[in-house]
Amino acid sequence: MNQPQAGLRHSIVLRRRPDGMPSMADFEMVQEPIPTPAMGEVVTRTLYLSIDPYMRGRLSDRKSYATPVQIGEAVTGETVGEVVASADPGFAVGDIAVGGRGWQSHVLSKAAALTRIPKGDAPLSTYLGVLGMPGVTAYSGMTDIGQAKEGETVLISAASGAVGSVAGQIAKRAGAHVVGIAGGPDKCLFVQERLGFDACIDHRSMDLGAAIADACPRGVDVYFENVGGAVQQAAFASMNMFGRIIMCGMVAQYNDAEFPPGPNLGFMVAKRVRMQGLLVFDKPERFAEWRTLAAPWVADGSLAYRETIIDGLERAPDALAMVLGGDNFGKMIVRVASL
Amino acid sequence: MNQPQAGLRHSIVLRRRPDGMPSMADFEMVQEPIPTPAMGEVVTRTLYLSIDPYMRGRLSDRKSYATPVQIGEAVTGETVGEVVASADPGFAVGDIAVGGRGWQSHVLSKAAALTRIPKGDAPLSTYLGVLGMPGVTAYSGMTDIGQAKEGETVLISAASGAVGSVAGQIAKRAGAHVVGIAGGPDKCLFVQERLGFDACIDHRSMDLGAAIADACPRGVDVYFENVGGAVQQAAFASMNMFGRIIMCGMVAQYNDAEFPPGPNLGFMVAKRVRMQGLLVFDKPERFAEWRTLAAPWVADGSLAYRETIIDGLERAPDALAMVLGGDNFGKMIVRVASL
């Protein structure tokens, strides 16, 4: 890919639809003049770009809840940016805002699609992670579907990730016994020591079912599903009567052209389990709720989070491949420019 | 099996756990004196015995929501019976009651486990079908999980069966577009002509997915699951955004020693579907509600139902095999004795 040049807008656009794991060759960088906002629009200079598993879905033309990214179009993604031009009374040059989607150095947005965030409160990158879309996803999932009660057992896959790490800490605050599943000893150590989960299972365990049974002696009341595959199979087999399953994501299959079969669903009837799919944008009011609730916890350090930040817009495709392969650690963020 | 003798209590007990489809040889009839009720107990003479798919589960020692039937123990089942001896002030000889479970000519029950039913109101057999457990199952499923709204599309498997036939008629009353799935042209004709569904698909269709798409041009908002297998796969693929799936039963697999894999669950996330398991006894208050609501509809003929009644307690195992094989038509009932 070309190197970015100063004074231009750089965008990473889709060159062709990836076959399996996305690679650099599926994208290209295009350069063009920085756009001028029309009435009601704002241009932000991107500081941080969020990289999330769901983006893989947008690169396929498979039917989904969202329109896929078109060939030649910039890839979608949340950003935190600084307002550099505004034709809307709600935003002034120098304001910091989150929203306005795209793998771009400068994003032209409708003002209504942006939320101004306070400077100097929490680190700006947290508005893409613990205080942003992944944090709100965890909060919505636990509030609207999981509803873990004191003494219940909550099992969370991708527990060191941006969503799982927050979901588990919310469940701990509710008084639940919280068990994570993560990839490898470093992540498991982080989940137990830093996030304060009661236990963490390495998903590379020989016998995942036995490991879950061991860590969840009273079975599983709430399962927060982020991965699919063998982990899903083992987790479903551990569900208690009247359990709840939050279907948030199935990252294990996002690169698959054909989706594999799932677990047999007899347990849903026998145990009267409730399973529900989640998209954070279905309840937009949860964003403000969560930021109000969690910003003090970020400030006082009682809500732990971890970010992996890499520098340079041109590395966004690499960052996505890391997320899909489980090679990131915590919330994956690309730093596009400095304030 | 022995033929029943007058003056004795006959019970069909489990002789061995069936391997696959249950057969006569898995059961035996035992004869013994008719029991005498202790304080708070009642003995009823069985008039009608209900045969339901769930009974297959009780014959296995697989872990389930209910304790399995033990070898040598009478098989469980709802009955309508006439009180022949009572040691409880709530019941008099000659009363008719529903409840008291067992494949038996005479059932000894706690009075609290029986519900008296009015004589000469609706046919007594309906208290095992349209006004009984299957009817209440349909009502609970549609009320607590399905919640079909006017203009939505509701798809119902085993549509001519005791549960499906009621579920679809409830959905029609709510103003939904209702499509059934049933086995063969006779059942499909009944579902459309007699039950008033908008369409019915023969599950032996070459392309079930295409048949569903054709009958449900706006997709499926509510799916009432009674069967599992290929029908489940095709139905799930037709779900709309924010759809609801009532997991009531999966009769297609009840004879299997090993359960087959299920559909991939990516659609649950992409479409934010809610799927929930149902057992009618979880909300016992629904029984009285449904009887109050539906008895007038049975009386005025606006709630259609169909029963297959066979005579003789000794034929209960055959009746169960018919239900599991889809060879019954409507609610399966064994007439054990006449009033």
User: What ipTM was estimated for this complex?
Assistant: 0.91
Q: Between vectors from CA B244 to CA B153 and to CA B176, what angle results, nearest 5°? A: 25
> Looking at residue B13, what is its pLDDT?
97
Q: What is the dihedral of CA B305, B144, B65, A260, to 10 degrees?
A: 100
Residue A339 pLDDT more than 90? no
> For the residues A91-101, what does the mean pLDDT come to?
92
Contact B275 A262 (CB under 8 A): no
> Which runs of consecutive H residues, i.e. helices, occur in chain B?
55-58, 133-140, 162-173, 185-193, 208-215, 229-236, 266-270, 285-299, 316-325
Nearest to B164 by CA among B150, B177, B181: B181
* Contact residues, chain B to chain A, C-beta under 8 Å: 57, 63-65, 228, 232, 241, 247-250, 253, 259-279, 282
Contact B261 A262 (CB under 8 A): yes
Residue B200 pLDDT more than 70? yes
Nearest CB among B270, B274, B278 relative to A64 is that of B270
Residue B64 pLDDT more than 70? no
Residue in A with minimal Cα distance to B275:
A275
Q: Which residue has the tokens 């708070």?
A: B40
- Which of A56, A233, A247, A269 to mutate against chain B (most B CBs within 10 Å)? A269
Q: Which pLDDT band holds residue B15 (cuts at 50, 70, 90)? A: very high
Domain A8-129+306-335: give its CATH architecture: Alpha-Beta Complex (3.90)
Residue A36: strand, helix, or coil: coil
B83 token code pair: 């009180």
Contact B265 A232 (CB under 8 A): yes
* Dist. CA B23–CA B17, nearest whole Å: 10
Contact B273 A273 (CB under 8 A): no
* Dist. CA B96–CA A6, nearest whole Å: 89
Domain residue extents for chain B: 8-129+306-335, 133-281
* Average pLDDT value over all residues in chain A: 94
pLDDT, one tens digit per residue, over B35-55 is 999 999 999 999 999 999 889
Q: What is the dihedral of CA B324, B183, A262, A23, to 10 degrees?
A: 170
pLDDT, one tens digit per residue, over B168-179 is 999 999 999 999
- Which of B247, B254, B282 to mutate against chain A (most A CBs within 10 Å)? B247
Residue B51 and residue B76 in contact, taking contact as beta carbons nearer than 8 Å: no
> Looking at residue B2, what is its pLDDT?
55
Give A137 to chain B, closest Cα distance, Å: 12
pLDDT, one tens digit per residue, over B108-141 is 999 999 999 987 778 999 999 999 999 999 999 9
Residue in A with minimal Cα distance to B63:
A270
> Looking at residue B311, what is its pLDDT?
96
Residue in A with minimal Cα distance to B227:
A266
Q: Which residue has the tokens 């942006």?
A: A114
> Looking at residue A4, what is its pLDDT?
62
pLDDT, one tens digit per residue, over A2-41 is 566 778 999 999 999 999 999 999 999 999 999 999 999 9
Contacts of B259 in chain A (CB under 8 A): 264, 266
Residue B305 pLDDT more than 80? yes
Q: Which helix (H) or strand (E) holds A154?
A: strand A153-157
CATH of B133-281, one of 3.30.300.180, 3.40.50.300, 3.40.50.720, 3.90.1150.10: 3.40.50.720
Q: Which pLDDT band holds residue A66 (cuts at 50, 70, 90)? A: confident
Contact A268 B275 (CB under 8 A): yes
pLDDT, one tens digit per residue, over A102-145 is 999 999 999 999 999 987 778 999 999 999 999 999 999 999 99
* Dist. CA A274–CA B245, nearest whole Å: 10
Burial class (CB in 10 A: 0-12, 13-18, 19+), B70: exposed
Residue B1 pLDDT more than 90? no
Contacts of A259 in chain B (CB under 8 A): 264, 266
Cα B239 to Cα A72, B145, B233, distances in angstroms: 31, 15, 11
Contact B262 A264 (CB under 8 A): yes
Nearest to A236 by CA among A260, A261, A219, A256: A219
Nearest CB among A269, A274, A277 relative to B271 is that of A277
Contact B260 A260 (CB under 8 A): no
CA quadruple B308, B310, B313, B319: dihedral positive or negative?
Answer: negative
Residue B269 pLDDT more than 90? yes
End-to-end CA distance of chain B: 25
Contact B274 A270 (CB under 8 A): no
